[in-house]
């Protein structure tokens, strides 16, 4: 009960407020995405943004703040509430050689447009024998927010990464957000960018390199956030925060966790995972999505099918969201999402620590 209460207290309240850069080397995820969009629109006149409230309202989460005033109606377009319609317009524009960025106010609403994402965007390059590229980005908040119920809290990482023809990125911090968004916009193929609403207002320290206009991260390459030798923790999006917090707590007990931020769900950087597990001999995966057929399940299968399996000294453990629709009650919502103490418990079980 005490753990649940602490978890609830630690949840960030939902906020639609704008954010400002805190210092020269501090950047929020919201501003990182905004600068990535701005820089790429400035660099390439074929890039344009469309979606609900992206223009005059500056975006539901203020990610597109200032872009309509700078680039005008033709390149920042407010759409009606019709995901199937404006996603179709965006895909058609990509067929014709433009580079649309299609915002879903939440990826839960992308279900209205999934035929356009899967059947039109993801499959056309293959079905045209490589003659028609579809350079489009589908972006928006994914997964759990706070107090928005079952229909607005789902993680679509496993859904979209299941589909050949799509690239799927899942940024955690400001460096991820800026570098991966710029890479997605420049990519010749459709990219799904799964952001997290709860991270938009979080500031992260960034280097001068990240602030540079030419900073781009490769899609399909994970990042080791913290080196360690006893166990590997693999996570994406907000679950990276849980993994890093657990690693900090466990370090105080002499357990050194290697924390991997996947950054990209498709393609999946198995090489980085394999190398880490061959060093630590133990693995825990962490994600906010449901357990069945999830990202952790895929990582388990890849390990099993590779010689890395023989380096394991214990079974792989998955830490996931609970296998239920998201409850509305705050206490139950906290219980349905993986918390830091869940990761610590999993590590202790894998390592046999009592």
Catalytic positions, please?
83, 152
DSSP sequence for 87-139: HHHHHHHHHTT-EEEEE-SSGGGGGGGHHIIIIIIITHHHHTTT------EEE
CA dihedral of 70, 73, 202, 187, whole degrees rounded to 10: -100
268: Cα within 13 Å, side-chain hemisphere: 23
Nearest to residue 222, comparing CAs of 207, 234, 239? Answer: 234
Omega before 141 within 30 of 0, i.e. cis: no
Torsion angles phi and psi, residue 117, rounded to 5: -65, -50
Residue 218 CA to chain centroid, in angstroms?
15
SS3 assignment, position 10 = helix
SS3 assignment, position 157 = helix
Region of 263 please: left (phi>0), alpha (psi -120 to 50) or beta.
Answer: left
Radius of gyration of the chain measured on its C-alpha atoms:
20
């Amino acid at each position: 009960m005490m753990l649940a209460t602490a978890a609830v207290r630690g949840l960030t309240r939902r906020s639609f407020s704008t954010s400002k850069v805190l210092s020269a080397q501090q950047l929020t995820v919201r501003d990182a995405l905004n600068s990535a969009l701005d820089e790429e629109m400035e660099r390439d006149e074929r890039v344009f943004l469309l979606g609900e409230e992206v223009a005059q309202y500056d975006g539901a989460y203020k990610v597109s703040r200032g872009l309509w005033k700078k680039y005008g109606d033709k390149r920042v377009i407010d759409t009606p509430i019709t995901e199937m319609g404006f996603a179709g317009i965006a895909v058609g524009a990509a067929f014709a050689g433009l580079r649309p960025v299609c915002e879903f106010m939440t990826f839960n609403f992308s279900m209205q447009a999934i035929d356009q994402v899967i059947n039109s965007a993801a499959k056309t390059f293959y079905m045209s024998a490589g003659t028609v590229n579809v350079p489009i980005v589908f972006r928006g908040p994914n997964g759990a927010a706070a107090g928005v119920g079952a229909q607005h809290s789902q993680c679509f990482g496993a859904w979209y990464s299941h589909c050949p023809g799509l690239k799927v990125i899942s940024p955690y911090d400001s460096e991820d957000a800026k570098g991966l968004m710029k890479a997605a916009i420049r990519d010749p193929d459709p990219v799904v960018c799964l952001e997290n609403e709860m991270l938009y207002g979080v500031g992260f320290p960034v280097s001068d390199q990240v602030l540079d206009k030419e900073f781009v991260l490769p899609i399909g390459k994970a990042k080791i956030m913290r080196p360690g030798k006893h166990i590997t923790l693999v996570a994406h999006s907000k679950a990276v925060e849980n993994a890093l917090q657990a690693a900090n707590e466990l370090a105080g007990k002499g357990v050194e966790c290697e924390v991997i931020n996947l950054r990209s769900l498709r393609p999946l950087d198995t090489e980085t995972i394999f190398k880490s597990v061959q060093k630590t001999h133990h693995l825990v995966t962490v994600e906010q999505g449901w357990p069945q057929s999830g990202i952790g399940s895929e990582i388990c299968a890849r390990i099993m099918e590779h010689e890395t399996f023989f380096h394991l000294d214990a079974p792989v453990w998955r830490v996931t969201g609970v296998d239920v629709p998201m409850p509305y009650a705050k206490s139950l919502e906290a219980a349905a999402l993986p918390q830091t103490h869940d990761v610590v418990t999993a590590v202790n079980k894998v390592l046999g620590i009592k």
